[in-house]
Structure 1
Amino acid sequence: MIRRCLLAAAIALTVTCTLASTQLIPTTLHLPETNVNISIHVTLQPGFDKSFHAIQFRIDGRTYRLIAKSDLQYLSKPEGPGLQPADPIRGLVLDRSRLFFLAHYTSEAKPHTLLFFIGDAGASDAAPVLVVGFHEDGSPYKVLELDQFDTSNFTQLEDGSPVIIGKATLSQAYSEASKDSVYATTYDPYAIYIVHPNEPAEYSLVESKRYNQLHYVWAGTKSREDIAVVFHDKNHHRPYIVPAKDLGKVFPKTQ
């Protein structure tokens, strides 16, 4: 009995110490903007969620510190099935430190680097995102910071402009989604942010509308639950919109 009590106490002490301690995560990155290395480190807060707010950068003897508005996450290795914080994002590469996703682009023949720090997504909410860029002297700046944004792609427009694509809200399914059968979701449009060197990214209504019309549907900039987006209907070659109240006519299983 005494041994069991001592063992329980030891386990409790270990858990308490784990929760009470912070963890420093450092990494080094080569910046093509300056052709030198920059060191980056964050301090994970106590607890199991591995979150952080402050990011410290050091380059050529200078130190910079950025503070995020929302909790950001250390992107742990997958521990089971389902959505993971480090799920692949088109156009981005997960850094070996697992602190951020990495992207590069060229503007006016000059290379540029972007770091995508991702927060923890809720059950039905998109995760916070902080995108960091660098000036020619290596100093960091915030390119984009949103409380909720499900980043899906980093790519370029036809004119070569780099863009960040994602959704402010996660779509909710009216039925079990399947790539082989008809299903429907709430209306949640994609948003397009154009990236400009040395400046914050700019939301583009024109490009957002065009992208949604090509790859999704378009019914305005806001998410809506009064309409539904129907996918994989054999009578339609692309997604289309119906009033949510009429879903039963299209997809009886939703009733």
Structure 2
Amino acid sequence: METQDSIGDFFRGVETPGMIDWTTMPTYNTVMALAVGAALVGLVLFFRALHADPAEVSVTGWSLNFGVLGLILTVTGLHMTLTWPFAAGGFAFDNIIFGEPSLALGVLLLAAAVYLWSKREVGVTVREVARDSRPMTIFVVGLGLALFAIALAGVVYQLFAAPPQEPISGFFGEWAIIEAFFISALYTAIGVGALLTPFATGRLARGLDGGVVTSIIGWCWAVTGAIWLLFAALNFYSHIGLVVNTM
């Protein structure tokens, strides 16, 4: 098994020409991860702003933000879910891990964008948003449980290790459990926030303070969102390196 054994390998990866036929395996989970990170952070910032002063919230601006991110995730997630592009390279499970949750989040974001756009003239309050979104929490809870299942599979089967041909991330490929725990922890934290949404929306819809539940959701999504943003930015370099080393 090849490994990265020098500083040069760490930043450039191991060259293995012809290893992957990229014409049969389009890879775009870089922009998907970027959109997921921006969406999670955005959701937290939106509700914080709405709680602080609804009159100062740009409903139109947030609608456009969620619409852009939702469109990216819906299109890419739908394509990955229906066509399974990673199967050609022997990574069929990645189509489920990345494609289906991205599709689900993308459609939810599009729904939020349409909802906020319809309220652009009158504005919204935390209580109103919580009340109107409560029926959607059934699907959100299911999605949270799915994320737990993905996280468990990631650790049990150690699915997230990068090959040595990928710069930086590939350095840790020899210890597959490291990246397995890292990615699985992100999925788990997002799932925790998803499972708590019915409790948060229930309290807020009744005009109560969100309490510790909303704080947990906020921290889970803000921290994981920021990590996804940074990790996605890194992957734009590491995935380009992977393509160059294996094409």
Superposition TM-score, scaled by structure 1 size = 0.28
Task: Select the structure with the greater relative contact order (CA < 8 A; seq sep ≥ 6).
Answer: 2
Q: Which has the larger Rg?
A: 1
